[in-house]
Amino acid sequence: MMKNNKTRKMVYIAFLSAMSAVLFMFEFPIMPPLQMDLSDLPVIIATVTMGWIPGICVALLKNLLHIIFISKNPMIAGEIANFLYAVCILAPFAIYKPQLKHGFNKIVFAAISVVLAAVVMNVLNYYITFPLFHLSKNGAWEILFATYFPFNLVKGGILFALYYLIEPYLHRIKL
Q: Please give the Cα distance from 86 to 29 (Å, whole number).
A: 18
As a CATH number, domain 2-172 is 1.10.1760.20
Q: Please give the Cα distance from 45 to 49 (Å, whole number).
A: 6
Give the mean pLDDT of 60-85. 89
CA distances from 58 to 99, 127, 136 (A): 23, 24, 32
What pTM value is reported for the model? 0.89
Q: What is the helix (H) or strand (E) element at residue 36, kind and residue range?
A: strand 34-36
pLDDT of residue 3: 61
What confidence category does residue 100 fall into, taking pLDDT thresholds of 50, 70 and 90? Answer: low
Q: Please give the Cα distance from 8 to 130 (Å, whole number).
A: 39
pLDDT tens digits for range 161-175: 999 899 888 877 766
Q: Please give the Cα distance from 88 to 68 (Å, whole number).
A: 23
Are the CB atoms for 122 and 145 separated by under 8 Å?
yes
Give the mean pLDDT of 3-15. 89
Q: Is the pLDDT of residue 99 over 80?
A: no
pLDDT of residue 107: 79
Average pLDDT, the chain: 88
Of residues 60 and 168, more confidence is placed in 60
What confidence category does residue 98 fall into, taking pLDDT thresholds of 50, 70 and 90? Answer: low
Residue type for 42, please?
Answer: P
Instruction: Sketch the domain layout of the chain as residue ranges.
Output: 2-172
Residue type for 167, please?
Answer: E
| Residues of the chain above pLDDT 70, percent | 93
For the ranges 12-21, 120-129, 130-139, 153-162, which has the lowest average pLDDT? 130-139
- Of 124, 125, 115, 112, the residue nearest 154 (C-alpha): 115
